[in-house]
Amino acid sequence: MANLINGKEIAAKVKEDIAKEAGNLAEYGVTPGLAVIIVGDDPASKIYVRNKKKACEEVGFYSEEFALPEKTSQKELLALIDTLNKRFDIDGILVQLPLPKHLNEKAVIGAISPKKDVDAFSPFNVGRVMIGEYRFLPCTPAGVMELIHSTGVEVCGKKCVVIGRSNIVGKPMAMMLLNESGTVTICHSKTENLAEITSQADILVSAVGKAKFVTADMVKEGAVVIDVGMNHDDDGKLCGDVDFADVEPKAGWITPVPGGVGPMTIAMLMKNTLTAAKINAAAATKKSGKKN
Ligand code: GUN
Protein backbone atom coordinates (compact mmCIF):
# COMPACT_ATOMS: atom_id res chain seq x y z
CA MET A 1 0.00 0.00 0.00
CA ALA A 2 1.38 3.40 -0.99
CA ASN A 3 2.03 6.36 1.27
CA LEU A 4 -0.39 9.14 0.40
CA ILE A 5 1.20 12.50 -0.45
CA ASN A 6 -1.15 15.05 1.07
CA GLY A 7 -0.88 18.10 -1.20
CA LYS A 8 -3.60 19.94 0.69
CA GLU A 9 -1.68 19.71 3.96
CA ILE A 10 1.70 20.57 2.40
CA ALA A 11 0.18 23.54 0.54
CA ALA A 12 -1.40 24.79 3.78
CA LYS A 13 2.03 24.77 5.44
CA VAL A 14 3.61 26.64 2.50
CA LYS A 15 0.84 29.26 2.63
CA GLU A 16 1.24 29.60 6.40
CA ASP A 17 4.94 30.45 5.93
CA ILE A 18 4.08 32.90 3.14
CA ALA A 19 1.45 34.60 5.33
CA LYS A 20 4.11 35.08 8.02
CA GLU A 21 6.50 36.66 5.51
CA ALA A 22 3.71 38.86 4.18
CA GLY A 23 3.09 39.98 7.79
CA ASN A 24 6.76 40.97 8.07
CA LEU A 25 6.62 42.88 4.79
CA ALA A 26 3.51 44.74 5.96
CA GLU A 27 5.64 46.31 8.69
CA TYR A 28 7.59 47.99 5.88
CA GLY A 29 4.39 49.11 4.15
CA VAL A 30 4.65 46.42 1.45
CA THR A 31 1.61 44.36 0.46
CA PRO A 32 2.18 41.87 -2.36
CA GLY A 33 -0.37 42.47 -5.13
CA LEU A 34 -1.60 40.04 -7.78
CA ALA A 35 -3.67 40.96 -10.84
CA VAL A 36 -5.64 38.09 -12.33
CA ILE A 37 -7.05 38.50 -15.83
CA ILE A 38 -9.73 36.19 -17.16
CA VAL A 39 -11.24 36.54 -20.62
CA GLY A 40 -14.59 34.90 -21.36
CA ASP A 41 -16.75 32.48 -19.42
CA ASP A 42 -14.89 29.17 -19.28
CA PRO A 43 -16.33 27.52 -16.13
CA ALA A 44 -13.11 25.70 -15.16
CA SER A 45 -11.08 28.92 -15.54
CA LYS A 46 -13.58 30.77 -13.35
CA ILE A 47 -13.09 28.21 -10.57
CA TYR A 48 -9.28 28.43 -10.86
CA VAL A 49 -9.41 32.24 -10.68
CA ARG A 50 -11.73 32.16 -7.68
CA ASN A 51 -9.32 29.80 -5.87
CA LYS A 52 -6.35 32.03 -6.67
CA LYS A 53 -8.13 35.10 -5.26
CA LYS A 54 -9.13 33.14 -2.17
CA ALA A 55 -5.51 32.09 -1.61
CA CYS A 56 -4.43 35.75 -1.85
CA GLU A 57 -6.88 36.61 0.92
CA GLU A 58 -5.60 33.72 3.07
CA VAL A 59 -1.98 34.88 2.91
CA GLY A 60 -2.73 38.62 3.20
CA PHE A 61 -2.04 39.70 -0.39
CA TYR A 62 -3.94 42.30 -2.38
CA SER A 63 -5.63 40.86 -5.46
CA GLU A 64 -7.56 42.40 -8.27
CA GLU A 65 -9.60 40.49 -10.83
CA PHE A 66 -10.14 41.70 -14.37
CA ALA A 67 -12.99 39.68 -15.84
CA LEU A 68 -13.11 40.67 -19.49
CA PRO A 69 -15.82 39.74 -22.00
CA GLU A 70 -15.22 36.96 -24.53
CA LYS A 71 -15.06 39.46 -27.40
CA THR A 72 -12.18 41.48 -25.86
CA SER A 73 -9.68 42.41 -28.58
CA GLN A 74 -5.97 41.70 -28.51
CA LYS A 75 -5.34 45.44 -28.42
CA GLU A 76 -7.58 45.93 -25.36
CA LEU A 77 -5.96 43.04 -23.52
CA LEU A 78 -2.44 44.26 -24.30
CA ALA A 79 -3.40 47.77 -23.15
CA LEU A 80 -4.55 46.38 -19.80
CA ILE A 81 -1.31 44.41 -19.38
CA ASP A 82 0.66 47.54 -20.20
CA THR A 83 -1.20 49.46 -17.48
CA LEU A 84 -0.62 46.67 -14.95
CA ASN A 85 3.07 46.43 -15.89
CA LYS A 86 3.38 50.06 -14.79
CA ARG A 87 1.34 49.89 -11.57
CA PHE A 88 3.45 49.91 -8.39
CA ASP A 89 0.80 48.13 -6.29
CA ILE A 90 0.75 45.14 -8.67
CA ASP A 91 3.68 42.73 -8.29
CA GLY A 92 2.34 39.79 -10.26
CA ILE A 93 0.19 39.54 -13.38
CA LEU A 94 -1.53 36.32 -14.34
CA VAL A 95 -3.57 35.79 -17.48
CA GLN A 96 -5.70 32.71 -17.02
CA LEU A 97 -5.30 30.26 -19.91
CA PRO A 98 -6.70 29.13 -22.25
CA LEU A 99 -7.67 32.40 -23.93
CA PRO A 100 -10.47 32.61 -26.51
CA LYS A 101 -9.28 31.46 -29.95
CA HIS A 102 -9.10 34.93 -31.54
CA LEU A 103 -6.43 36.05 -29.05
CA ASN A 104 -2.73 35.39 -29.55
CA GLU A 105 -1.65 33.63 -26.35
CA LYS A 106 2.08 33.86 -27.06
CA ALA A 107 1.92 37.62 -27.68
CA VAL A 108 -0.18 38.13 -24.55
CA ILE A 109 2.20 36.17 -22.31
CA GLY A 110 5.17 37.92 -23.92
CA ALA A 111 3.66 41.31 -23.07
CA ILE A 112 3.76 40.68 -19.31
CA SER A 113 6.83 42.21 -17.72
CA PRO A 114 9.20 39.30 -16.85
CA LYS A 115 9.45 40.81 -13.35
CA LYS A 116 5.68 40.36 -12.89
CA ASP A 117 5.33 37.06 -14.78
CA VAL A 118 4.47 34.98 -11.71
CA ASP A 119 3.38 32.04 -13.90
CA ALA A 120 6.93 31.97 -15.35
CA PHE A 121 5.45 31.36 -18.81
CA SER A 122 7.27 34.12 -20.72
CA PRO A 123 10.20 33.16 -22.96
CA PHE A 124 12.54 35.14 -20.69
CA ASN A 125 11.56 33.24 -17.55
CA VAL A 126 11.42 29.88 -19.37
CA GLY A 127 14.99 30.56 -20.53
CA ARG A 128 16.06 31.32 -16.98
CA VAL A 129 14.68 27.97 -15.79
CA MET A 130 16.63 26.28 -18.61
CA ILE A 131 19.92 27.74 -17.39
CA GLY A 132 19.03 27.20 -13.73
CA GLU A 133 19.08 30.94 -12.86
CA TYR A 134 15.50 31.78 -12.12
CA ARG A 135 13.45 34.10 -9.95
CA PHE A 136 10.22 32.22 -10.55
CA LEU A 137 9.53 28.59 -11.28
CA PRO A 138 6.35 27.62 -13.15
CA CYS A 139 3.79 26.87 -10.46
CA THR A 140 2.61 23.34 -11.23
CA PRO A 141 6.01 21.71 -11.75
CA ALA A 142 7.39 23.68 -8.77
CA GLY A 143 4.55 22.26 -6.67
CA VAL A 144 5.33 18.76 -7.92
CA MET A 145 8.97 19.17 -6.86
CA GLU A 146 7.82 20.12 -3.34
CA LEU A 147 5.63 17.03 -3.20
CA ILE A 148 8.53 14.82 -4.32
CA HIS A 149 10.79 16.44 -1.70
CA SER A 150 8.17 15.71 0.98
CA THR A 151 8.61 11.97 0.40
CA GLY A 152 12.31 12.11 1.28
CA VAL A 153 13.10 10.29 -1.99
CA GLU A 154 16.18 11.89 -3.59
CA VAL A 155 15.80 12.87 -7.26
CA CYS A 156 19.57 12.73 -7.82
CA GLY A 157 20.48 9.70 -9.95
CA LYS A 158 16.89 8.40 -10.13
CA LYS A 159 15.05 7.39 -13.28
CA CYS A 160 12.37 10.05 -13.73
CA VAL A 161 9.68 9.77 -16.39
CA VAL A 162 7.35 12.62 -17.31
CA ILE A 163 4.30 11.82 -19.43
CA GLY A 164 3.27 14.96 -21.31
CA ARG A 165 5.30 17.65 -23.07
CA SER A 166 3.29 20.85 -22.61
CA ASN A 167 5.04 24.18 -22.16
CA ILE A 168 3.19 24.68 -18.87
CA VAL A 169 3.93 21.35 -17.19
CA GLY A 170 5.78 18.60 -19.09
CA LYS A 171 8.77 20.50 -20.44
CA PRO A 172 9.57 22.61 -17.34
CA MET A 173 8.92 19.55 -15.14
CA ALA A 174 11.59 17.61 -16.99
CA MET A 175 13.99 20.54 -16.68
CA MET A 176 13.48 20.81 -12.92
CA LEU A 177 14.05 17.10 -12.40
CA LEU A 178 17.18 17.40 -14.53
CA ASN A 179 18.33 20.41 -12.47
CA GLU A 180 18.26 18.04 -9.48
CA SER A 181 20.33 15.47 -11.40
CA GLY A 182 17.53 13.03 -12.20
CA THR A 183 17.88 10.89 -15.32
CA VAL A 184 14.88 12.19 -17.20
CA THR A 185 12.75 10.79 -20.03
CA ILE A 186 9.83 12.72 -21.54
CA CYS A 187 7.05 10.60 -23.03
CA HIS A 188 4.12 11.83 -25.10
CA SER A 189 1.32 10.73 -27.42
CA LYS A 190 3.76 9.47 -30.07
CA THR A 191 5.96 7.49 -27.66
CA GLU A 192 6.29 3.83 -28.58
CA ASN A 193 6.25 1.18 -25.85
CA LEU A 194 5.10 3.70 -23.26
CA ALA A 195 4.45 1.15 -20.49
CA GLU A 196 7.94 -0.29 -20.93
CA ILE A 197 9.47 3.14 -20.27
CA THR A 198 7.14 4.27 -17.48
CA SER A 199 7.52 0.97 -15.61
CA GLN A 200 11.22 1.71 -15.14
CA ALA A 201 10.56 5.04 -13.44
CA ASP A 202 11.50 5.57 -9.79
CA ILE A 203 9.63 8.86 -10.09
CA LEU A 204 6.69 9.03 -12.49
CA VAL A 205 4.88 12.30 -13.22
CA SER A 206 1.79 12.17 -15.39
CA ALA A 207 0.46 15.30 -17.10
CA VAL A 208 -1.49 13.99 -20.09
CA GLY A 209 -5.07 14.97 -19.29
CA LYS A 210 -6.60 11.53 -19.86
CA ALA A 211 -8.76 10.00 -17.15
CA LYS A 212 -7.28 6.89 -15.47
CA PHE A 213 -4.63 6.60 -18.22
CA VAL A 214 -1.83 5.28 -15.97
CA THR A 215 -2.50 1.73 -14.81
CA ALA A 216 -0.57 -0.60 -12.47
CA ASP A 217 1.24 -2.39 -15.32
CA MET A 218 2.85 0.98 -16.23
CA VAL A 219 4.26 1.56 -12.73
CA LYS A 220 7.38 0.22 -11.01
CA GLU A 221 6.87 -1.38 -7.58
CA GLY A 222 7.52 1.27 -4.90
CA ALA A 223 7.68 4.25 -7.33
CA VAL A 224 6.76 7.83 -6.47
CA VAL A 225 3.69 8.55 -8.62
CA ILE A 226 2.60 12.15 -9.10
CA ASP A 227 -0.69 12.85 -10.84
CA VAL A 228 -1.04 16.29 -12.44
CA GLY A 229 -4.25 15.37 -14.30
CA MET A 230 -7.62 17.02 -13.64
CA ASN A 231 -10.13 15.00 -15.60
CA HIS A 232 -13.65 13.65 -15.28
CA ASP A 233 -14.44 9.96 -15.39
CA ASP A 234 -17.42 8.40 -17.19
CA ASP A 235 -19.65 9.29 -14.22
CA GLY A 236 -18.53 12.93 -14.35
CA LYS A 237 -16.48 12.55 -11.16
CA LEU A 238 -13.20 14.47 -10.86
CA CYS A 239 -10.20 12.16 -11.35
CA GLY A 240 -6.56 12.31 -12.35
CA ASP A 241 -4.48 10.68 -15.09
CA VAL A 242 -3.69 7.81 -12.74
CA ASP A 243 -6.10 4.95 -12.09
CA PHE A 244 -5.70 5.43 -8.34
CA ALA A 245 -7.38 2.21 -7.17
CA ASP A 246 -5.27 0.15 -9.56
CA VAL A 247 -1.90 1.88 -8.98
CA GLU A 248 -2.07 2.66 -5.25
CA PRO A 249 -1.30 -0.89 -4.01
CA LYS A 250 1.85 -0.99 -6.19
CA ALA A 251 3.28 2.53 -5.75
CA GLY A 252 5.50 3.57 -2.86
CA TRP A 253 4.08 7.11 -2.81
CA ILE A 254 1.11 8.56 -4.64
CA THR A 255 -0.81 11.85 -4.89
CA PRO A 256 -4.61 11.85 -4.78
CA VAL A 257 -6.87 13.88 -7.10
CA PRO A 258 -8.24 16.15 -5.75
CA GLY A 259 -5.93 17.15 -2.89
CA GLY A 260 -2.57 16.43 -4.52
CA VAL A 261 -0.93 18.72 -7.08
CA GLY A 262 -3.84 21.21 -7.41
CA PRO A 263 -3.43 22.97 -4.04
CA MET A 264 0.35 23.10 -4.55
CA THR A 265 0.01 25.00 -7.84
CA ILE A 266 -1.79 27.80 -6.04
CA ALA A 267 0.63 27.78 -3.11
CA MET A 268 3.53 28.18 -5.57
CA LEU A 269 1.72 31.09 -7.24
CA MET A 270 1.60 32.79 -3.83
CA LYS A 271 5.32 32.07 -3.38
CA ASN A 272 6.14 33.64 -6.76
CA THR A 273 4.00 36.69 -5.98
CA LEU A 274 5.81 37.13 -2.67
CA THR A 275 9.17 36.85 -4.46
CA ALA A 276 8.05 39.45 -7.03
CA ALA A 277 6.93 41.80 -4.26
CA LYS A 278 10.27 41.49 -2.47
CA ILE A 279 12.21 42.18 -5.69
CA ASN A 280 10.00 45.14 -6.59
CA ALA A 281 10.21 46.59 -3.06
CA ALA A 282 14.01 46.26 -3.08
CA ALA A 283 14.19 47.95 -6.49
CA ALA A 284 11.91 50.80 -5.33
CA THR A 285 14.00 51.30 -2.18
CA LYS A 286 17.17 51.43 -4.26
CA LYS A 287 15.61 53.95 -6.67
CA SER A 288 14.53 56.27 -3.86
CA GLY A 289 17.94 55.96 -2.20
CA LYS A 290 16.34 54.75 1.03
CA LYS A 291 18.25 52.39 3.29
CA ASN A 292 16.56 49.91 5.66
N1 GUN B 1 -4.52 27.42 -17.02
C2 GUN B 1 -4.29 26.19 -16.51
N3 GUN B 1 -3.26 26.21 -15.64
C4 GUN B 1 -2.83 27.49 -15.60
C5 GUN B 1 -1.81 28.15 -14.88
O6 GUN B 1 -1.06 27.55 -14.09
N7 GUN B 1 -1.69 29.48 -15.10
C8 GUN B 1 -2.49 30.16 -15.98
N9 GUN B 1 -2.28 31.46 -16.16
N10 GUN B 1 -3.45 29.57 -16.67
C11 GUN B 1 -3.62 28.25 -16.48
Question: pTM for the full model?
Answer: 0.96
> In the annotation, is 52 catalytic?
yes
Q: Among the options 91, 119, 227, 241, which is catalytic?
A: 119
Do residues 160 and 205 lie in contact, with contact meaning Cβ atoms separated by under 8 Å? yes
Do 31-113 and 139-261 show the same overall fold?
A: yes
User: Which CATH code for domain 31-113?
Assistant: 3.40.50.10860
Q: What is the reported pLDDT for 291?
A: 52
Work out whether the CA dihedral 7, 12, 13, 17 comes out positive or negative: positive
Please tell me the distance between residue 97's alpha carbon and the centre of ligand 1 in angstroms: 5
Please tell me the distance between residue 240's alpha carbon and the centre of ligand 1 in angstroms: 17
139 lines ligand 1 (CB under 6 A): yes
Q: What is the reported pLDDT for 285?
A: 78
Q: Among the options 96, 116, 227, 243, which is catalytic?
A: 96
- CA–CA separation, 127 and 174 (whole Å): 14
pLDDT in tens, 156-186: 999 999 999 999 999 999 999 999 999 999 9
pLDDT in tens, 28-41: 999 999 999 999 99
Yes or no: domain 139-261 corresponds to CATH 3.40.50.720: yes
Count of C-beta atoms within a 10 Å radius of residue 131: 9
For the chain, what are the domain ranges?
Answer: 31-113, 139-261
